[in-house]
Amino acid sequence: MTIQKTTLMPTSYSVIFAVSGAHLINDLIQFLLPALYPVFKSEYALNYFQLGLLTLAQQITACLLQPIMGLYGDLKPRPYTLAVSMTVVALGVVMLATANSFVLLLAAATVLGVGSALFHPEASRVCRMASGGQRGFAQSSFQVGGNTGTALGPLAAALFVLPLGQFSTVWFGLLAVLSVVILTWVARWFANHQRIMNTVAAPQLSFPQLPKKRLMISFAIIGALLLSKFVYIETFKSYYTFFLIEKFGLEIRSAQTILFVFLAAVAVGTFVGGPVGDRIGRRKVIWGSILGALPFSLMLPYTNLPGTIALSIVVGLVLASAFSAIVVYAQELLPQKIGMVSGFVFGFAFGIGALGAAALGAVADQVGIQQVFNFLPVLLALGLLTFHLPDTD
């Protein structure tokens, strides 16, 4: 067994919260695309499969680029990559506001995905740098920023974008500019941190290195867990409003508001999972979150509207607590490649979620969106694979 060592430094809460705020802005802008799906469906006569392709175009770039960008950051750290990433996002939101065809919407979705791919691995690395050993707390704080932004997406669409039209999304580019300013300050802290680390000896923490075969099996299981979680959540993000409209006859704004409630629960659950994992262990949190959501998700498609809303809150809270734990758990399996591991987790999660959403959109075109939601909980049974993960705590 080999030992990988790192040096522990004090927690920098200002950096963690700054990156979390930038994550909020990034994911708010990213979610403007699926939040506008009801508008695109009627205005451009798109079917569910085409909406799934928009999700795929946005997310597949993140899936392919994030591990590469993460590994590049491991080998050649670039503090200002974060600021560049939000510049790309600003370009993407302008393209989204001005697109007037399905092809241009695909292009805008792709540019938004590239910005996200640049952002997530470096942001996760910076939060770990600033954690001072509180890795679960730092990762949860980072993630809750993103999930809060995602939750605000449909609310912003219902209150701002839907009444004013597609072009109004261009104003969200100003938030991206604000994020560039924030991340430029974070980049200076990053550069200073690198200088300090280059002069520090005396390591304080060490991590066991698992055999290569065990690592490969562990990451394959992590991939399966990410599939179960993100295909479920991405399907909700893309099609929950249509499910509510079709089953309960709701208006678009009401359905978007209920989607906001679900995504807000996801944001809260994400934050809880990290600190709890610091205390009781990542593996236990993964066990409890994914399988704990299963019985509630099974009941959700068969209840009335108040029951559906209540169960969606419980499912969002419980299921989302896994992600921060999964990210930190994966980083601890391979601590010498933090950027690559973070890129793999975020990239695979986004990519598999998008592929799943696109595939289920095609299924919904054939059998109906309610039938898709009836069978969706089966995915969560993959949480049983957690049994085969090694205990790293």
The Cα angle at residue 27 between residues 334 and 355, in degrees rounded to 5: 70
| CATH class of the region 12-387 | mainly alpha
Please state the length of the chain: 393
* pLDDT score of 392: 67
Three-class HEC string of the chain: CCEEEECCCCCCHHHHHHHHHHHHHHHHHHHHHHHCHHHHHHHCCCCHHHHHHHHHHHHHHHHHHHHHHHHHHHHCCCCCHHHHHHHHHHHHHHHHHHCCCHHHHHHHHHHHHHHHHHHHHHHHHHHHHCCCCCHHHHHHHHHHHHHHHHHHHHHHHHHHHHHHCHHHHHHHHHHHHHHHHHHHHHHHHHHHHHHHHHHCCCCCEEEECCCHHHHHHHHHHHHHHHHHHHHHHHHHHHHHHHHHHHHHCCCHHHHHHHHHHHHHHHHHHHHHHHHHHHHHCHHHHHHHHHHHCHHHHHHHHHCCHHHHHHHHHHHHHHHHHHHHHHHHHHHHHCHHHHHHHHHHHHHHHHHHHHHHHHHHHHHHHHHCHHHHHHHHHHHHHHHHHHHHCCCCC
Q: Give the closest residue to 4 by CA, choosing from 157, 209, 264.
A: 209
Domain ranges in the chain?
A: 12-387
The residues of the chain scoring below 50 in pLDDT are 1-6, 201-207
The whole-angstrom separation of Cα 281 and Cα 296 is 24
Q: What is the pLDDT of residue 2?
A: 42
- Who contacts 220 (Cβ-Cβ below 8 Å, separation ≥6)? none
Question: What pLDDT is attached to residue 121?
Answer: 82
**Is the distance from CB of 257 to CB of 158 less than 8 angstroms?**
yes
Reference 59, options 241, 264, 231, 317; nearest CA is 231
Res 90: pLDDT = 93
Output the pLDDT for position 384: 83
- pTM equals 0.70
